[in-house]
Chain A
Amino acid sequence: MQTVVANILAQIETVVIGKPHQIKLALACLLAKGHILIEDLPGMGKTTLANTLAATLGLSYQRIQFTSDLMPSDVIGIAIYEEQSKSFQLHPGAIFNQVVLADEVNRASPKTQSALLEAMEEGRVSVDGVTHSLPEPFFVIATQNPMSHAGTYPLPESQLDRFMMRLSLGFPSIAAERKILQANSSHRDTVAITACIDLNQLREIQQHIANISVSAAIIDYVIALCRLSRSQDSQAKALSPRAGKSLLAAAKAWAFMENRDYVIPDDVQAVFSPVCEHRLAPQQHHIFDEANELSQQILSQVNPTDPLA
């Protein structure tokens, strides 16, 4: 299983150059059955990453470009009367895929956004009173531009909370940028990417991750981190128990990728910022300023070896 994961990572790295950590986080998120929000400036490779991830996992995939006039029915689908069967039949929208890339999700109107996000949480959609299950597994990879950009509708806290992680890619290093500029390839070449994993293998891995053991000490650590965000003098928004659950799930996936079958505090620390920053400070994102993140401040105040002391 570890070799599969290594292959996936290696393949994505050939396309998204110089960002192994972010790739690893994104993969961990998907393995932990979480949705990803990628937030960055235009042209930083958000869509490339999302595309490559979907293609590599070998899942059915569709991309929706969110615009201000996108309607909920464009995402979910619409029921149309069919002559032969004399009944309304659902014409499924883009969401009925295993991987959905919601590009520039904050450009759509709140109504459309919430249609997508409800589907993400429930795993099913209702059209005209009929409930339809979404395929399994189901991932949403959303990208968005920073809040300050024109023509955006910021996602409210409740909807941000649905994403397990929020990632930023950031500017590439000199070496990486040189490589990007020298390469002749463009988006279209990603089509050449082959699936490295099949559905059974993916399910197996997800099952394995769910079984990774979490000791009481780790639970304590997570609790301590959450409680600190809830303390009186904290500037951050409080972390909910769901945030704690997401943190644990992501840490398990990370532990799996580190080739361990138990979680250590280092795993929690590795995923803490992407999992929690958008929950702690939903309306701001210091994309290139990790040190100022609220999550880093919280992390620096909890002693992992003696968390509840």
Chain B
Amino acid sequence: MSKQATTSRKGLSSDSTALTLPRKLFFALLLLQLFNVLTLVQQLHPFYLVFALAALVLQWLGYLKTRNHSKRAQASLQALTQAHSTKILPSWLILILAISGSVVIAAAGKSLGLLASMIHLLCFAYSLKLFEISQRKDLYQLVVLGVFVATTSLIFIQSIYFSLLVLALVFANFYLLLNFFSPQRRLASELKLLAKLSIYSLPFAIILFVVFPKLTPFWQVPNVKSAKVGLSDRVKIGDIAQLALSNELAFRVSFENETPSHAQLYWRAMVLDDFDGVSWQQAGQRAGQHHYNRYYGANKENAKPSANVSLIGDAIDYQVIVEPSFQSWLFALDFATTQQGNIGQRDDFALFYRGIISQTTSYQVTSFLEAILAPSLSQQSRATNLQLVTENNPRLLAKAKRLRQRFQNDSELIQQVLTDFNQGRYFYTLQPPPVENNSLDQFYFDTRAGFCEHYASSFTYLMRAAGIPARLVVGYLGGELNPRANYLSVYQRNAHAWAEVWLPNRGWQRVDPTAAVDPERVERGFSNNLLQEHANLSDSFFSMQGLGSMWWYQQVRSQIDALDYQWTRWVIGYTGQQQLQLWAKLRAVFTQRQSLGYGLFFLLTCALLLVYFNLMQDKRHHQDKIIVIYLKTLALLAKYSLAKETAMTAQQFAQKVNRQRPELSASFQAITDSFAAVSYQGLTNQQYAQHLKAANRHYWRLRWRLGLTRLGIKN
């Protein structure tokens, strides 16, 4: 009686349909459900979250109630089982809940979007299923559903830490599942089994990850543009200084060869050539003329005829992994080409992604740093880049006219403007004093303190006023090199704006007035003054100045960042594109006869090593082949429920086989005799060879026979 009681307290009563759950397991089930749902907390509607919590609390209360009840009643085992099976909610209520909930989700589908409503439906079912556990299979379904819910969160967040967290949660779920199957096992053996199963499944997971076709998601990941910090397609002065306070990662780059110097790292994001006196934006956008910017494929062959570029100088190759920006522009050094079909190029040389970058995306770029951009300028383009709103900044306009009179030569004029910046007591700062109505005049002549966009804007304005085609380019400057993994991290604080002027025969030339004001910003990055300012302004607890100067903090940070980078690069960045490339590479390898030979040689070596290893394992105890055959035969027979008891001698076991399976007896007796002869009698070499041959033959005969009987063929 007492024994019975222990087993059913510890285990699950599987024979009856009513199900008893031990307290610990039940609590673990509820806790894991809570965690599984919490992984999606950002995506789920507050109403649903309240519902899920209420469901969990209701379950817990219901459990406590039945437990107390059964305690009071001093119920027998049977009664306890029945008490547990009483449902917390009647099934008609569950049905009504299920239907009404689905209707509500369907109704909200428009505003939620397809993906979110599907996830809500999944989670809703997950919460409801909790009320419907009457059989073991319901438990299994619940746990597996939990695993599905937890992994769904990886659609939205893919950082390595979160992924590890979800993985741990999945393991916890599996552990629970294991507990349902075999509650009697010890913790250590359960963990061991779990580890073993995970290791077994790892190769399959890797193979599936590498080989399984990566489909583009059929759902639209919800646009959370507003929450995101980043460049905007409409820049007025002060915007970028604001952006520079953010320490968020924008993108990462790894160069195939040497990393260019800091001053060369002007990452073009977009070109703003339409100035309304206050803010800059892309031409044509104001009028909704999207067709104005013609799009091209961004491959090298397109460069010459369409984008009007003469490619000279060396090419540098690099991979860019861009964080989700929920925009479509990409970042590259001029002049950029890429073979990827999902990337296009505007005629202002900016790359863009055909779609919204809602997930971490990687692309391969080849840049020609010395290329001449647009040696000839179309009339239309010239007109756009000379367009000027004259009302807002009369003083600049006048200055430009004076300069034009002084310098006929464009280059000299540009040089003079830069010299003015350099020597005119201009001040480079993250906290520009406010100017009225974003007036460039006020900045240029009065406050004389600004961030890159102030200088770039006024410079461009001056150029246009002086009759030189010019435009504003926004993007990022520089980046932080991680020496461990040799890649460049570009943060939002690296955001930058500079100017481009078009000069005859030389095409579009990059001019960065910031360099004239604060050369260090261009050469190396933020100067110490700027860093100090940054530290004061950014509310981040780990301010750059304080902690940043401690070497260990930098070490740890760069280590963690490197880890995150590798994760992003190899796991997240492994997209359909990479997969296709991998296949193409493999196909190329296999079509070459020589490498095919190498491949076969490799496989053959692996197989041989495997066989050798197997043999060595067998031989660890027994060098003798006949003994090995005998032991193999024993193992084989054990599979067919003909196991030798420990104390049985070879002859005794042979007799047992003879009694139970007379049809196998002849072969087995022969093997036994060989074994006995070699173990106990001692054989000459010649006899040994004969015995070995016979034993081998009989072993295979035995296998064959056993195989036939397994297939149901008797002979």
Q: Is B644 an interface residue (CB 8 A)?
A: yes
Interface centre among A262, A302, A304 (most CB of B within 10 A): A304
Q: Is B649 an interface residue (CB 8 A)?
A: yes
Is A305 touching B631 in the complex (CB atoms < 8 A)? yes
Q: Is B572 an interface residue (CB 8 A)?
A: no
Q: Which residues of B contact A263 (CB under 8 A)?
A: 680
Is A302 touching B652 in the complex (CB atoms < 8 A)? no
Q: Is B675 an interface residue (CB 8 A)?
A: yes
Q: Is B14 an interface residue (CB 8 A)?
A: no
Q: Which residues of A contact B680 (CB under 8 A)?
A: 215, 217-218, 262-265
Q: Is B380 an interface residue (CB 8 A)?
A: no
Q: Which residues of B contact A269 (CB under 8 A)?
A: 647, 649
Is B644 touching A264 in the complex (CB atoms < 8 A)? no
Q: Which of A218, A266, A303 contacts B646 (CB 8 A)?
A: A303
Q: Which of B621, B651, B652, B681 contacts A306 (CB 8 A)?
A: B621
Q: Is A202 an interface residue (CB 8 A)?
A: no
Q: Which of B644, B647, B650 contacts A300 (CB 8 A)?
A: B647
Q: Considering only CB atoms, which chain A residue lies closest to B675 in the complex?
A: A305
A265 to B630, CA, bound (A): 16
Q: Is B679 an interface residue (CB 8 A)?
A: yes
Is B649 touching A304 in the complex (CB atoms < 8 A)? yes
A213 to B646, CA, bound (A): 25
Is A301 touching B647 in the complex (CB atoms < 8 A)? yes
The B interface is mostly helix, strand or loop, or mixed, namely helix
A264 to B676, CA, bound (A): 8
A274 to B651, CA, bound (A): 21
Interface centre among B631, B644, B680, B682 (most CB of A within 10 A): B680
Is A264 touching B647 in the complex (CB atoms < 8 A)? no
Is B646 touching A217 in the complex (CB atoms < 8 A)? no
Q: Is B210 an interface residue (CB 8 A)?
A: no
Q: With A265-B650, A300-B646, A305-B649 known to touch, is A217 a contact of B631 (CB < 8 Å)?
A: no
Q: With A304-B648, A306-B621 known to touch, is A213 a contact of B634 (CB < 8 Å)?
A: no
Q: With A305-B630, A306-B621 known to touch, is A265 a contact of B682 (CB < 8 Å)?
A: no
Q: Is A291 an interface residue (CB 8 A)?
A: no
A306 to B644, CA, bound (A): 12
Q: Which residues of A contact B681 (CB under 8 A)?
A: 213, 215, 262
B678 shortest CB reach to chain A, Å: 9
Q: With A213-B681, A305-B675 known to touch, is A264 a contact of B621 (CB < 8 Å)?
A: no
Q: With A262-B682, A265-B650, A303-B646 known to touch, is A309 a contact of B621 (CB < 8 Å)?
A: yes
Q: Which residues of B contact A265 (CB under 8 A)?
A: 649-650, 680
Query: Which residues from 252 to 309 on chain A have a C-beta closer than 8 Å to any C-beta of chain B?
Result: 262-266, 269, 299-306, 309
Q: Which residues of A contact B682 (CB under 8 A)?
A: 213, 215, 262
User: Count the B residues whose beta carbon is within 8 Å of the partner chain — how many?
Assistant: 19
Is B679 touching A215 in the complex (CB atoms < 8 A)? yes
A252 shortest CB reach to chain B, Å: 12
Q: Considering only CB atoms, which chain A residue lies closest to B651 in the complex?
A: A266
Interface centre among A213, A262, A299 (most CB of B within 10 A): A262
B646 shortest CB reach to chain A, Å: 5
Q: Which of A266, A300, A301 contacts B652 (CB 8 A)?
A: A266
What total of A-B pairs shows CB separation below 8 Å? 51
Q: Mark B216-242, 1 if CB is under 8 A from A, else 0.
A: 000000000000000000000000000
Q: Considering only CB atoms, which chain A residue lies closest to B676 in the complex?
A: A264
Q: Mark B682-711, 1 if CB is under 8 A from A, else 0.
A: 100000000000000000000000000000
Is A217 touching B679 in the complex (CB atoms < 8 A)? yes
B682 shortest CB reach to chain A, Å: 6
Query: Which residues from 224 to 270 on chain A have a C-beta closer than 8 Å to any C-beta of chain B?
Result: 262-266, 269
Q: With A213-B682, A217-B680, A264-B680 known to touch, is A306 a contact of B649 (CB < 8 Å)?
A: no
Is B621 touching A304 in the complex (CB atoms < 8 A)? no
Q: Which residues of B contact A305 (CB under 8 A)?
A: 630-631, 634, 644, 649-650, 675, 679
Q: Considering only CB atoms, which chain A residue lies closest to B652 in the complex?
A: A266
A269 shortest CB reach to chain B, Å: 6
A234 shortest CB reach to chain B, Å: 16
Q: Which residues of A contact B621 (CB under 8 A)?
A: 306, 309
Q: Considering only CB atoms, which chain A residue lies closest to B646 in the complex?
A: A303
Q: Which of A213, A218, A304 contacts B650 (CB 8 A)?
A: A304
A300 to B652, CA, bound (A): 13
A185 to B522, CA, bound (A): 127
Is A301 touching B649 in the complex (CB atoms < 8 A)? no
A263 to B681, CA, bound (A): 8
A112 to B278, CA, bound (A): 129
Q: Which residues of A contact B651 (CB under 8 A)?
A: 264, 266
Is A302 touching B646 in the complex (CB atoms < 8 A)? yes
Q: Which residues of B contact A262 (CB under 8 A)?
A: 680-682
Interface centre among B644, B652, B679, B682 (most CB of A within 10 A): B679
B376 shortest CB reach to chain A, Å: 87
Q: Which residues of A contact B647 (CB under 8 A)?
A: 269, 299-304
B622 shortest CB reach to chain A, Å: 8
Q: Mark B629-646, 1 if CB is under 8 A from A, else 0.
A: 011001000000000111
A305 to B648, CA, bound (A): 8
Q: Which residues of B contact A299 (CB under 8 A)?
A: 647
B188 shortest CB reach to chain A, Å: 22
Q: Considering only CB atoms, which chain A residue lies closest to B648 in the complex?
A: A304
Q: Which residues of A contact B630 (CB under 8 A)?
A: 305
A292 shortest CB reach to chain B, Å: 16
Q: Considering only CB atoms, which chain B residue lies closest to A262 in the complex?
A: B681
A306 to B680, CA, bound (A): 12
B313 shortest CB reach to chain A, Å: 73
Interface centre among A218, A266, A301 (most CB of B within 10 A): A266
Query: Which residues from 163 to 221 on chain A have a C-beta closer than 8 Å to any C-beta of chain B?
Result: 213, 215, 217-218
A265 to B649, CA, bound (A): 6
Q: Which residues of B contact A215 (CB under 8 A)?
A: 679-682
A264 shortest CB reach to chain B, Å: 5
Q: Which residues of A contact B648 (CB under 8 A)?
A: 304
Q: Considering only CB atoms, which chain A residue lies closest to B677 in the complex?
A: A262
B143 shortest CB reach to chain A, Å: 40
A259 shortest CB reach to chain B, Å: 14
A306 to B648, CA, bound (A): 11
Q: Which residues of A contact B644 (CB under 8 A)?
A: 305
Is A306 touching B631 in the complex (CB atoms < 8 A)? yes
A62 shortest CB reach to chain B, Å: 40
B528 shortest CB reach to chain A, Å: 73
A116 to B55, CA, bound (A): 89
| Further 11 A-B residue pairs, CB within 8 A, beyond A266-B652, A305-B631, A305-B644 | A213-B682, A262-B681, A262-B682, A264-B649, A269-B649, A301-B646, A304-B648, A304-B649, A305-B630, A305-B675, A305-B679
Please name 11 pairs of A and B residues whose Cβ atoms are closer than 8 Å in the assembled complex, sorted by A.
Answer: A213-B681, A215-B681, A215-B682, A218-B680, A262-B681, A264-B651, A265-B680, A300-B645, A300-B647, A304-B649, A309-B621
State the 10 A-B residue pairs at the shortest beta-carbon distance, nearest first.
Answer: A265-B649, A217-B679, A300-B647, A304-B649, A262-B681, A215-B680, A264-B680, A266-B649, A303-B646, A262-B680
